[in-house]
Chain A
Amino acid sequence: MKSNYACRSNEHEIARRGFLGTMLGTAGVVGGLGAFTNRSIATELERKQKRVVVFNMAGGISQLETWDPKPGTDTGGPFRAIPTSVPGVHISELLPKTAKLMHHLALVRSINIKENDHGKGRYAMWTGRRQTPAQEFPQIGAVMAKSLGADKNALPGHIRVSSSTGGRSNDSAYLGPAFASISIASGKPPANSARPEGMTEKQDILRNDFRRSADERFSLRRRSAQTDAYAQSYEQAQQLMANRDVFDITKESPKDHERYGKHELGQHSLLARRLLENGVTFVQVTHSNYDTHNENFNFHLEQVGEFDKAYSAFVEDLVVRGMLDSTLIIVMSEFGRTPRINQYYGRDHWGTAWSICLGGAGIQRGAVIGSTNDNGTAVKDREVDHGNLFHTYLQAVGVDSLGSFSIGGQDIPVADPSHAPIEELLA
């Protein structure tokens, strides 16, 4: 597949050289935005750059134990509801710290994705479309990285913070490998990002100069999207090597480690803040696991407690550091959990009437969209699905979700064109 710019236009050539030049000038400078040597560029990006963070509550967190409690009903379970900083809005008592920050956040309580399968639910929520064999769609991180120009940043634009360091994932579909996620483990730089032992810095510079020279020569006649992605991957790897400290959460204060929690989610959330501060466009943090068919309440007690601590510290920091207006925060799962409590004190898969929490960039503060009936078994008003949410996320950070990507000469809608954003949720 040839890129649209195989025409080798002067304009593009200049832009690309400028980009590489900026990258090369950043070696040894710590920090994404701070890595830009041109202060005016950095200032402009700092002002405009939108970022996105997703807290992935893997397995399907219970809406009844979080954002849409129904105490005192046949489905309510043992947890009570508590008031939040938004008058009239109550959430589960498992989220006391988050409740105090609700005026910075928003809830959507009327989601029906009509999927109760992990894989299909995940696909729908992460791509905004239903899974079909006919077409593979990119996940939200890839779409955000592409739409928000993450490829022009010094650091990777699409990062998943996970338990183990890995390479790039296959989640960018037609957007290409440049926008696929890179998995990194808490407190550790990406795999193989250190200069090989036995190689001097001078040798490293020489080999990279040689590689660039060969790439440039090759590109004069055979340039394609793949070769660009290949070259960009190398340049990004160079930046990673130069900016390994960005991933090192031991640089954060002991107080912050304590505030976020020393459990995995706390450490991952702290790393997420550090990455966003350093200009990474999209970060995904996963909290595992909520697939609680058995002892739902004991497990949610344990897990949501961890989440409340880490998440509230994260939101507080974004507020204090002036990043909330430019950072979209999404807390989501592949689906919720059944209102019916099963024989094992568990709740099962439930895509029919559930909730997410979001906030920050472009989102109305304190908004609550839609509702469920008294015991949470059905959406009562303003039913929305994954398609509506996907449009909303994009619009919230200023991306035209009704637009298209131009892929190999073909226009592919950024989001499912049969859906629209939740306008009343947008600021």
Chain B
Amino acid sequence: MTLLETTEVTVDPTATHVDKTWKYTSPLITCRFDPAGKYVFAAAQDNALIRWTLADGTMKVYKGHDSWIRDIEFSEDGKTVVSSGCDDRLLFWNVEEAAAEPKPTREIHAHKGWIRSIQLSPDGKLLASGGNDRIVKIWNMADGKLVKELVGHEIDVYSVMWHPQDGTLFSGDLTGKIYRWDTVSDKPALVYDGKELYTANTGQKAGYGGIRGMALSADNKTLYACGLHKATNPFGAVQEPLILAFDLESKKVVKKWEVAGLKAIAWEIKLHPQGFLFCVCGGGAGGYLTFIKPNEDKDYHRAKLPNVSRGMDLHPDGVQICVAHYDKQLRICRLQAKVEEKKEG
């Protein structure tokens, strides 16, 4: 399905509801739709990558990591799925897998430590990865070879995201710093300071927060970063979600949204093709999808989910959102009103 079709479909975030629920045997961490929208892949706390077929909910389990998977990405042709693990590795798998026990088609020992985030470049040729060794790396998708290392972060890298047009790459870290790397030249990276998304709690002696997710506006002039603030008790999960908007040119924070009163973390943020932002939030408050219009000061809708949510993705149809939950369930939400089934007789 193309972006044009997505912008034409009718969605109503205020009518968001859970449409399907599939259960696994272990709490889920994150999830992604494949580019064709046929499958949804999720990572679980038993180190597995799970594939559900959207049409009928059939499940296949991919096992190969020695630790948790933190992120999932696909090749441009949609035939390969890449998982990044806390075991230093990137594993490549066939999306259309017939074997009962799938084996990875490629393995890269990519980082020293967790690989928290990966993303394919807009041209589909490169894969960016970032992790706990504080290095951002760029890999050639065709042969898996290292293309470039980007060194500068002074602490763990939490998220990476490509600019859709100019070849620059954003990477956000624990302390809220976002580096914008020019992957073509060797110019120094630009730094966006998202320090409001970091709390150095002196009482608990803990550094907490980080750039948990990023998105760009449709005109590519605004960078959105999400995470948490008001972390008065990091060890007790007392915090609230926060989304910052940076002007890409001036690097200044031009707007921020506090998802007030919600004891949770904003784990991921995405821009819907129809112009609104949405976040998945999870924590003591439970699970929520929150919706924001960039020109408004507050989120305009919060869709309560049945359990603590940890990751999400938007289907190419622009209507379905998959959400990974702590209660081992993958939920498919629809941004449309429920269609009432007609009762016979």
A341 and B45 in contact, given A295-B208, A301-B132 (Cβ under 8 angstroms): yes
Cα A294 to Cα B235 with chains together (Å): 5
The answer, among B26, B204, B207, B308, for a CB contact under 8 Å with A288, is B204
Question: What sequence of 0s and 1s flags, for each residue 36-75 of chain A, a beta carbon within 8 Å of any chain B beta carbon?
Answer: 0000000000000000000000010000000000011010
Question: What sequence of 0s and 1s flags, for each residue 1-20 of chain A, a beta carbon within 8 Å of any chain B beta carbon?
Answer: 00000000000000000000
The answer, among A74, A293, A298, for a CB contact under 8 Å with B236, is A293
Q: Tell me how far the C-beta of B209 lies from the nearest C-beta in chain A, rounded to whole angstroms.
A: 10
Q: Tell me how far the C-beta of A333 lies from the nearest C-beta in chain B, rounded to whole angstroms.
A: 14
Question: What sequence of 0s and 1s flags, for each residue 284-297 of chain A, a beta carbon within 8 Å of any chain B beta carbon?
Answer: 00001101111100
Q: Tell me how far the C-beta of B64 lies from the nearest C-beta in chain A, rounded to whole angstroms.
A: 13
Residues from chain A with Cβ under 8 Å of B68 in the complex:
77-78
Interface residue ranges, B against A (CB under 8 Å): 26-27, 45-47, 66-68, 86-87, 114, 132, 156, 204-208, 234-237, 282-284, 307-308, 326
Cα A299 to Cα B205 with chains together (Å): 10
Residues from chain B with Cβ under 8 Å of A120 in the complex:
none
Residues from chain B with Cβ under 8 Å of A79 in the complex:
67, 86
Question: What sequence of 0s and 1s flags, for each residue 253-288 of chain A, a beta carbon within 8 Å of any chain B beta carbon?
Answer: 000000000001000000000000000000000001
A291 and B27 in contact, given A78-B67, A78-B68, A341-B45 (Cβ under 8 angstroms): no
A359 interface hit (Cβ, 8 Å): no
A293 and B205 in contact, given A79-B86, A80-B66, A344-B284 (Cβ under 8 angstroms): no
Contact across chains for B235 and A292 when beta carbons are under 8 A apart:
yes
A410 interface hit (Cβ, 8 Å): no
Interface majority SS (helix, strand, loop, mixed), chain B:
loop
A344 and B205 in contact, given A80-B67, A294-B235, A294-B237 (Cβ under 8 angstroms): no
Q: Which residue of B lies closest to A81 (CB)?
A: B66
Q: List 30 A-B contacts (CB under 8 A).
A: A71-B66, A71-B67, A72-B47, A77-B45, A80-B66, A80-B67, A80-B87, A264-B205, A288-B204, A289-B235, A292-B235, A293-B235, A294-B236, A298-B208, A299-B206, A299-B234, A299-B235, A301-B132, A302-B207, A341-B45, A343-B27, A343-B282, A343-B307, A343-B308, A343-B326, A344-B237, A344-B283, A344-B284, A346-B235, A346-B237
Most buried by B among A72, A74, A291, A302: A302
Q: Tell me how far the C-beta of B246 lies from the nearest C-beta in chain A, rounded to whole angstroms.
A: 24
The answer, among B26, B47, B86, B234, for a CB contact under 8 Å with A294, is B234
Q: Tell me how far the C-beta of B50 lies from the nearest C-beta in chain A, rounded to whole angstroms.
A: 15
Question: What sequence of 0s and 1s flags, for each residue 108-146 of chain A, a beta carbon within 8 Å of any chain B beta carbon?
Answer: 000000000000000000000000000000000000000
Contact across chains for B26 and A74 when beta carbons are under 8 A apart:
yes
Residues from chain B with Cβ under 8 Å of A341 in the complex:
27, 45
Cα A209 to Cα B67 with chains together (Å): 68
Q: Tell me how far the C-beta of B166 lies from the nearest C-beta in chain A, rounded to whole angstroms.
A: 32
Q: Tell me how far the C-beta of B145 lies from the nearest C-beta in chain A, rounded to whole angstroms.
A: 26
Residues from chain B with Cβ under 8 Å of A294 in the complex:
234-237
Most buried by A among B66, B67, B308: B67
Cα A295 to Cα B267 with chains together (Å): 13
Q: Which 6 A-B pairs have the closest CB atoms?
A: A294-B237, A78-B68, A78-B86, A343-B326, A343-B308, A344-B237
Contact across chains for A295 and B45 when beta carbons are under 8 A apart:
no
Cα A97 to Cα B221 with chains together (Å): 47
Contact across chains for B206 and A289 when beta carbons are under 8 A apart:
yes
Q: Tell me how far the C-beta of B69 lies from the nearest C-beta in chain A, rounded to whole angstroms.
A: 9
Q: Tell me how far the C-beta of A261 lies from the nearest C-beta in chain B, rounded to whole angstroms.
A: 14
